[in-house]
């Protein structure tokens, strides 16, 4: 089956007076299958945005090849553009236009009728706000309107650049439901996000970029499994004396942290059984490895600009 996206040895270098040459994209290759939900993760400056801009046909690479739905996105192809939808991290709407007017404008660009605008407003939950000017909408409503604009042309391939940035937890979860629905309809979705739990919950596969390169790629479960991290079990401190702690830890790592005893173990069942036997389950929490642990392992913990 032909890939929805195929990227081969993509490279892009920028030059600056102070910074010299910066390899924003340095030999990036990946493949996205039709109908797949694919995530691109990485710290600031990793090369995610430049990679996406090249894939979307907004920027020309120095070298390498991109095939988007079987065609090259560069130079710009109106036919290809009509088969894809792009939601940018910061969307700029037309001044003084209502939500419905915004969508009508985008619909005309894609050759869709006004009935499609009305349908999209209902799909993203903005039917009651059709006549509200875009600048009067809340942050979450603006993000939903932005996604509606990217979908009004009924694209096969959708790019979402940090769609839930700066949203409260309720708005973020509501957008997750909408994004899942987009993918369940058979569309290929490419997502960039700084929220690891979002990528873990939504993506079939993720690529983690750093310094212009893809450092690892796979399903969230595969990447977490490859990390082989211990399970962290925490209970309220003060329930066990030092001899009990030593016996339960049985040579594994244990530390006290902000009123909790935190055990790191490769055998959580045995440790939980021992804690239960000593009646020391108050404040119990169990944390296994997550995609965030993988991200930090791959990209490091240093501050990024």
The pLDDT assigned to 282 comes to: 95
Both ends of the chain: CA-CA distance in Å? Answer: 40
Return the CATH superfamily for domain 230-288: YebC, transcriptional regulation domain (3.30.70.980)
Ramachandran category for residue 241: left, alpha or beta (phi over 0 → left; psi -120 to 50 → alpha)? beta
240 pLDDT higher than 90: yes
**Distances 31 to 12, 40, 76, 276, 285 between C-alpha atoms, Å:** 18, 12, 21, 48, 38
Is residue 149 very low, low, confident or very high in pLDDT (cuts 50, 70, 90)?
very high
% the chain with pLDDT above 90: 71
Give the model confidence (pLDDT) of 80-93 as tens digits: 988 999 987 667 78
Show me where the domains of the chain are located.
Answer: 5-220, 230-288
- C-alpha 169/C-alpha 163 separation (Å) is 13
Measured CA to CA, the distance from residue 234 to residue 288 in angstroms comes to: 12
Residue 99 confidence (pLDDT): 94
* Interval 150-181: pLDDT, tens: 999 999 999 999 888 878 888 889 889 989 99
What average pLDDT does the segment 205-218 reach? 97
List the 188-192 sheet strands across, edge first. Answer: 84-87, 157-161, 188-192, 37-41, 205-210, 213-218
Fold of 5-220: Rossmann fold (3.40.50)
Instruction: State the pLDDT at residue 16.
Output: 74
- Structural contact between residues 37 and 182, judged by C-beta atoms closer than 8 angstroms: no
- Beta strands 5-16 and 63-68 are antiparallel
pTM: 0.86
How far is residue 228's CA from residue 222's CA, in Å, rounded to a whole number?
10
């Amino acid at each position: 089956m032909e890939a929805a996206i195929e990227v081969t040895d993509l490279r892009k270098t920028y030059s600056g007076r102070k910074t010299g040459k910066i390899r924003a994209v340095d030999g990036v290759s990946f493949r996205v299958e039709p109908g797949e939900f694919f995530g691109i993760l990485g710290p600031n400056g990793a090369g995610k945005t430049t990679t996406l801009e090249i894939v979307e046909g907004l920027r020309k690479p120095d070298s390498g090849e991109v095939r988007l739905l079987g065609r090259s996105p560069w130079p710009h192809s109106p036919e290809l553009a009509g088969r894809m939808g792009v939601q940018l991290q910061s969307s700029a709407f037309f001044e003084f236009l209502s939500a419905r007017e915004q969508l009508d404008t985008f619909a005309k660009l894609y050759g869709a009728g006004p009935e499609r605008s009305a349908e999209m407003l209902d799909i993203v939950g903005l039917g009651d706000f059709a006549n509200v000017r875009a600048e009067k909408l809340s942050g979450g409503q603006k993000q939903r309107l932005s996604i509606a604009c990217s979908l009004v042309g009924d694209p096969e391939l959708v790019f979402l650049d940090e769609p839930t940035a700066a949203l409260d937890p309720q708005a973020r979860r509501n957008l997750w439901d909408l994004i899942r629905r987009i993918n369940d309809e058979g569309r290929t979705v490419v997502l960039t996000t700084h929220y690891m739990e979002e990528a873990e919950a939504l993506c079939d596969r993720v690529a983690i970029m750093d310094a212009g390169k893809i450092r690892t790629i796979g399903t969230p479960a595969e990447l977490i499994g490859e990390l082989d991290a211990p399970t962290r079990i925490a209970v309220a401190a003060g329930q066990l004396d030092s001899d009990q702690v030593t016996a339960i830890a049985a040579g594994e790592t244990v530390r006290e942290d902000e009123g909790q005893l935190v055990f790191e173990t490769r055998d959580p069942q045995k440790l939980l059984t021992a804690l239960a036997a000593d009646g020391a389950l108050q404040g119990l929490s169990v944390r296994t490895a997550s995609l965030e642990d993988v991200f930090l392992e791959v990209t490091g913990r240093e501050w990024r600009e």
